[in-house]
Chains A and B, each alone.
Chain A
Amino acid sequence: MPARSFLHELNPLTKIAWSLAVITVAFVFQQPLPLLGLWASVLAVALAGKVLKEILPAIRGLLIFAAIFILFQIFLIQEGNTVFTLLPGSGFGRVTDVGLTACTMLALRMLAMTSTIPVLLATTPPKDMIVAFVEKLRVPYVYALMLVTSLRFIPTLQEELGLIIQAQRARACDLESRNIFRRLRAIVPLALPLLLMSVQRARTMAISMETRGFGAGPRTSLRTSTFQTLDLGVIAGCLFLTAALVIIALR
């Protein structure tokens, strides 16, 4: 299969190294602006790897998460000058300049750190990840397989959930009530069939693996995990940039 971009060609461990570098840098900076720059650099890497469009839904989810995060934190910080109050005069819902900066900083840090994960997943075939973990990191095969299989089944589960939603709607099951309690209760007729179907499916899969000699003992692998010059270059670059940025931030 031809690689779609340089990101797809990299060893999975190289991409994990990049991810760790981003996390390190995100921790040493305390101001919103450099963190915004860091997050932009992650998105720029995604763009260069031609997967920005693919990971947009995940980024949107992370943004919502960051917004909730800010909402919960911002009213709790009391020090600093008041920027505005939710109920003027009462002192309730006071937002300070210190709180605003701190929350933005934390949200951006979280965004920068977590945005590397969808990039990693979108550019790495699960099989390559297994091979890299098992060969280079000496992770036991069963654990690597478990991790990757659970990732593989996410789209299948989404499809199945869609099917169940349609089936329950066809039986006039109210899934979109405005009443929050009813809406919570509506999870049961969706979650239960999904769980039962997954258990059934897991059983079939286990049997299918069993009949093909799974767990027979030492195994071989069709593919190998190799580090190319590009990998070494990227890792060296990440190391250098991280070191430089850490020094700048701590000075």
Chain B
Amino acid sequence: MDPTFEPIIKVEDYTFYYPDSQVPALAGINLTVRPGEFLGLTGPTGAGKTTLALALNGIIPHFQGGRLAGRVTIAGLDTAATPCARLAGVIGSVFQDPEAQLVAETVEDELAFGLENLAVPREEMRARISAALEMVGITDLRHRPLRQLSGGQKQKVAIAAAIALRPRILVLDEPTSELDPRGSLEIVNLLERLNRDYGMTILLIEQKISLLAPRVPRLVCLHQSRIVADAAPRQVLGQEKLVAELGLEVPPVTDLFRLLSRAGVYHGNLPLAVDQGRRELDRLLSHESP
């Protein structure tokens, strides 16, 4: 690890109980993320993924009460001691339901909402809205009413609205769960681009491993409120017991090669996407037939 990179997200021994609950929603979480990382977070429903997202953007403890222990530090700010509004300029959040998280009537007003809250002057607001729309690639939607947009377009608007506040981190809680395959793919491609071209730190919570695995260098698995794996997707998906226990939806091509390697036919890295798999298969077949 490069020592000059201060961690941008630091979660230390974090435990959280929702009010009136005897079971922790998060238990002893330790997580360090460096600037510019693209991190995938997965795990079964109820594992604590959403709770972790809420702990990062300060909703816990400012909006959602409960018992907690440990510390979350975002870009040097302790979330428990920093108001949500101050965190808004550091960490942007996108949620599952494309309908419920949008508050305005038109795309432009939606992007303006956060900027208005933070009292950005009008001229700068216009410039920032234009910049955010361009980064997300939806400049043509600027004056459209939100009601007319598709789910995927609405999620892009939600991302642009978060980006307009110029956060250093973007946390997305299952942004594709209500989208069709094409819309989902567009969203993850967009995130990949934001990470690569703008160096934005991204934490993507996602159940669809086949979307996540080929794109993120690091995959964290939550299970029953704890982190049970934190490694490259290839290594995580190679652990058969873990995959079975968590019911992770492994991409079929990865599954095929896992079977091949168990049969002793294949010895290389597990491919995570179809094109990698085809290449490996070509190589394998050309070795087979002398």
Contact = CB atoms under 8 A, between A and B. Distances in A.
Contacts of B62: 210
Interface stretch (B86-94, B181-189, B213-221, B233-241): B86-94
Contact of A216 (B83, B97, B121): B83
B120 to A, nearest CB: 6
Contacts of B118: 213, 216, 219
A150 interface: no
Nearest to B111: A222
A206 B121 CA distance: 24
Interface string A197-236: 0001110111111111111111111100000000000000
B4 to A, nearest CB: 30
A154 to B, nearest CB: 12
Interface in A179-207: 200-202, 204-207
Contacts of B92: 211
Given A210-B63, A210-B84, A213-B84, A204 B117 contact: no
A204 B95 contact: yes
Interface in A1-17: 1
A32 interface: no
A207 B109 contact: no
A209 B85 CA distance: 10
Contact of B116 (A126, A208, A211, A221): A221
B147 interface: yes
A222 B109 contact: yes
A215 B118 CA distance: 9
Interface string B39-72: 0000000000000001001110011000000000
A237 interface: no
Interface in A86-144: 125-127
A82 interface: no
A212 B93 CA distance: 8
B104 interface: yes
A213 B103 contact: no
A155 interface: yes
Contacts of A125: 105-106
Interface string B124-153: 011001000000000000010001000000
B206 interface: no
* Centre residue among B106, B114, B143 by max chain A CB count within 10 A: B114
A201 B143 contact: no
Contacts of B117: 212-216, 219
B212 interface: no
A2 to B, nearest CB: 10
Contacts of B276: none
A212 B161 contact: yes
Contacts of A213: 84-85, 88-89, 114, 117-118, 165
Nearest to A159: B99
A73 interface: no
Interface string A147-177: 0010010011000000000000000000000
Contacts of A221: 112, 116, 122
A211 B57 contact: yes
A210 B84 CA distance: 7
B64 to A, nearest CB: 8
B74 interface: no
A220 B59 CA distance: 24
A132 to B, nearest CB: 14
7 contacts: A127-B106, A201-B100, A204-B95, A207-B59, A207-B95, A211-B93, A216-B83
